[in-house]
Amino acid sequence: MFFSLPALAKQYRVGFLAFRGEAQSRTEWAPTLAALNGALPGERFEGYFFTQQQLDDELATGQLDFVVTNPAHFMLNRGQGLNWLASYLDPHYGLARESVAGTLWVRADGDMTAPEQLRGKPVGAVHEQAFGGYLLVAEQLRRRGVLPAELDLRFTGYPVDALVYLLRDGALSAAMLPTCLLESMAQEGLIEAADFLALMVEDDATCARSTPLYPGWSFAAVGAADEGVLRAISRALLNLEHHGRPVWGAAIRLDEVERLLADWQLGPASDSASPLRLLRQLIGRYWPFLAALVVIVLAMLLHHYRVTLLLLRRTQERDKLHDLMQHKEQELSQARQRILVGEMATGLAHELNQPLSAIQAYAQAGELVSDSGPQQEAFGHIVAETERGAAIIRRFRQWATQPLPRAEAFEPAEVCRELVARIGPRADAKGVRLSARTEAGTLLSVRPAVEQILNNLLGNALDAHARADNGRETHGRENRGGIMLLTAHHEAGAWHLTVEDDAGGVAGHIIEAMQQSLPASHYHGMGIGLLVSHRLALRLGGRLTLVNTGRGTRATLFLPEEA
């Protein structure tokens, strides 16, 4: 029964990361196993030594009760339910928070003196997740602008000692090693330290290192173990001393390790920090190119802005030129119309002057040979009318070829009364009743031109009544006469002078032409008076409109109170 007690003790499997191989690791961790077995006589702790991949497999299959590994491997396997009990105190530094670092080594007799020279060269490392044997040194290289993708990385696996031999034999240009490894191998007589040169060396009196110091290794329980056993293990580890120094210390936080793993997209924090981290890495690595890109984009935006301003300026200049061309075309068209009217007025004056002169001569002769008073009075009226007709023709020629006379103030009501008195006899002779309805007030304009327009409108109305009477005689109907109304109405700073009749209206194309600023040069059945009236109204700053009222036509002359 006495010899069977060890067989009845509970067995615990402790997995160790053997980064230098099983033999070296077994020697290094033998004091820790002995201390645990001595502190817990009823328990049995067996050590098993693995590479990183083997240790991952053992944890994944639940074959281990405890694990001793570096802080990065511990953080990467927290999903396995690891419970951190103690932190290893590296014998070179003696602090739990500052125990692990990495060193970049090259051959001392080579031409490599700066990490930038390693681009494209074979560089050895232990494992893509090895802490001191890859991640720490690779992080410092990346901060100096040397990216892993620019190196010919070769991961040789465990034990790490193989990397030192490959570098010594020239198979590698550089090697990433845990700090103090090369010094330990030199003390063991395995290599000559003078054959190697460390790059990116930081101040340190203990070992050559290329990175800051990070927390040490972890002793962790796997899964939910008995709390009494865990307390006893923690107490045993904290009480363990080797050559008068403590071997294990209290567990500490691994924030620096967690941030490092997140930067390399490893560990649980990498997913949440990935976008921001990638952005920081992108800016940190490629800031010269990003700055050049920003400058190029700004230059393109400024060029686009400049081109837009030039285009806008050219567009405005084009619009101004277009408006100027249209204005000149209108002036040219108006000039052509004035020339046409002038030629017509000149032709009419030339053709009408001779018959008017003849009529005036005959009337004067009849006045001389006539004996009775009524006959002399009639011949006198003929002479007066021929003189007025000659004056009208002269005014036509003057308005068509010369500027209008200066505007003067006059009373529209007085002009209307004179026109009714002058045209009234002609209207009575045709059975048309002419009347006027006016308002008091003055108008600043060219009186002869206004009088001529109204005279033409009244004459057109009389002609319309004559055509209507001729049409009734043709169809055997009785003439009914008609009415003509001349009004002068003042409203909102303007005068409205209207001639309205009941002679049946005018054709629609005539009214449509009157709505244009440059109507046709003639109107069928209306004579030249309407064209001249329209031109005069425009030159006076007003307008002339025609509308059919159903019974006849209403012609309205609109003139501003001060033309």
Residue with tokens 């990361």: 17
Q: What is the CATH number of domain 406-560?
A: 3.30.565.10
CB contact at 8 A, 177 and 165: no
Cα 464 to Cα 118: distance, rounded to the nearest angstrom: 110
Q: pLDDT confidence of 216, banded at 50, 70, 90?
A: confident
5 pLDDT higher than 60: no
pLDDT value for 46: 93
- Specify which of 323-337, 391-405, 426-440 reaches the highest per-range mean pLDDT: 426-440
* pLDDT given for residue 503 in this prediction: 85
Mean pLDDT of 347-353: 67
Mean pLDDT of 321-340: 77
Give the mean pLDDT of 429-445: 91
Closest to 440 measured CA to CA, from 385, 495, 384: 495
For the record, the structure tokens of 427 come out as 């209207």
Res 249 pLDDT > 80: yes
- pLDDT at res. 2: 44
Asked whether this chain's domains 5-96+216-268 and 102-199 adopt the same fold, the reply is yes
Which of 158-167, 170-179, 216-225, 415-424 bottoms out in mean pLDDT, i.e. has the lowest? Answer: 216-225
Secondary structure, 3-state, 453-481:
HHHHHHHHHHHHHHHHHHHHHHCCCCCCC
Tell me the C-alpha distance between 259 and 269, whole Å. Answer: 8
By C-alpha distance, which of 412, 377, 358 is closest to 542? 412
Q: What class is the 102-199 domain?
A: alpha beta
> What average pLDDT does this structure show over 260-274?
58
Q: Decide: helix, strand or coil at residue 527.
A: coil
476 vs 409 pLDDT, higher one: 409
Place of tokens 């005068």: 495
**Long-range contacts of range 329-337, CB-CB < 8 Å, 24 or more positions apart?**
333/518, 334/518, 337/518, 337/521, 337/535
5-96+216-268 has which fold? D-Maltodextrin-Binding Protein; domain 2 (3.40.190)
In the predicted model, is pLDDT for residue 475 greater than 70?
Answer: no
User: In this model, does residue 241 exceed pLDDT 60?
Assistant: yes
CB 268 within 8 A of CB 274: no
Residue 518 has pLDDT above 60, yes or no: no
The domains of the chain are located at 5-96+216-268, 102-199, 285-402, 406-560
Confidence (pLDDT) at 342: 63
pLDDT at 59 over 60: yes
Mean predicted confidence (pLDDT) in 483-495: 91
Q: Tell me how many degrees the CA angle 68-18-62 measures, rounded to the nearest 5.
A: 50
Q: How confident is the model at residue 269 (pLDDT cuts 50, 70, 90)?
A: very low
Mean pLDDT along residues 19-42: 89
Burial of 535 (0-12, 13-18, 19+ CB in 10 A): buried
- H helices of 98-158, where? 136-143
pLDDT at residue 327, rounded to an integer: 84
Please provide the average confidence, as pLDDT, over all residues in the chain. 82
